[in-house]
């Protein structure tokens, strides 16, 4: 008996099929990469919003406690915390009957997610504005009235990060 050699059965891909497949995969990857970058930026901006909200809420709670007389403050002071660390360390509750009870406003100071220097402590990653400082030229002072990111750049919504 003779063995039949058939050219109808072949296996593998031709060079043209491989080139077309690689080109399609490359095209899909080039479209997905910018979308991934936007997703990462959107995530960091969301973290920034949340961190600013936490710190600002804690500052407002401290001010409210000071206005209610629960935080002992000097008469000439504004009632805002002297540092961000005070929000974590807590202050003695002036209205507590046993005087050793503390009021805490934050569990920890969140880091600025846009900060690039990992060696800085969390408090140092934020810009701080004192009550006496104008909003268009924020400066540190005797208290912390507001915080802002030190990052430069513009958000996806077109607003500079420093204005958040």
Locate all alpha helices (DSSP H) within the chain, ordered by sequence: 15-67, 85-89
Over its C-alpha atoms, the chain yields an Rg (Å, rounded) of: 29
Residues 51 and 108: their CA atoms lie apart, in Å, by 11
What confidence tens digit (pLDDT) does each residue in 41-87 have?
A: 899 999 999 999 999 999 999 999 999 988 887 656 889 999 999 99
pLDDT value, residue 17: 87
Residues 89 and 97: their CA atoms lie apart, in Å, by 20
pTM of structure: 0.77
- In the predicted model, what is the mean pLDDT of residues 116-125? 92
Residues 21 and 15: their CA atoms lie apart, in Å, by 10
Residues 157 and 164: their CA atoms lie apart, in Å, by 11
Measure the CA dihedral 97/87/134/148, to 10°. -160
Residues 8 and 5: their CA atoms lie apart, in Å, by 9
């Amino acid at each position: 008996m003779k063995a039949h050699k058939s050219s109808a059965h072949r296996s593998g891909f031709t060079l043209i099929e491989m080139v077309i497949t690689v080109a399609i995969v490359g095209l899909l990857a080039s479209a997905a990469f910018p979308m991934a970058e936007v997703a990462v930026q959107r995530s960091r901006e969301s973290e920034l919003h949340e961190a600013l909200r936490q710190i600002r809420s804690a500052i407002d709670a401290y001010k409210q406690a000071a206005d209610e007389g629960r935080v002992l403050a000097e008469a000439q002071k504004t009632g805002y915390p002297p540092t961000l660390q005070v929000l974590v360390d807590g202050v003695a509750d002036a209205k507590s009957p046993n005087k050793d009870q503390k009021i805490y406003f934050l569990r920890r100071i969140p880091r600025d997610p846009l900060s690039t220097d990992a060696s800085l402590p969390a408090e140092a990653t934020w810009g701080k504005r004192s009550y006496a400082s104008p909003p268009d030229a924020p400066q540190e002072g005797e208290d912390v009235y507001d915080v802002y990111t030190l990052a430069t750049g513009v958000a996806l919504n077109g607003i500079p990060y420093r204005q958040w």
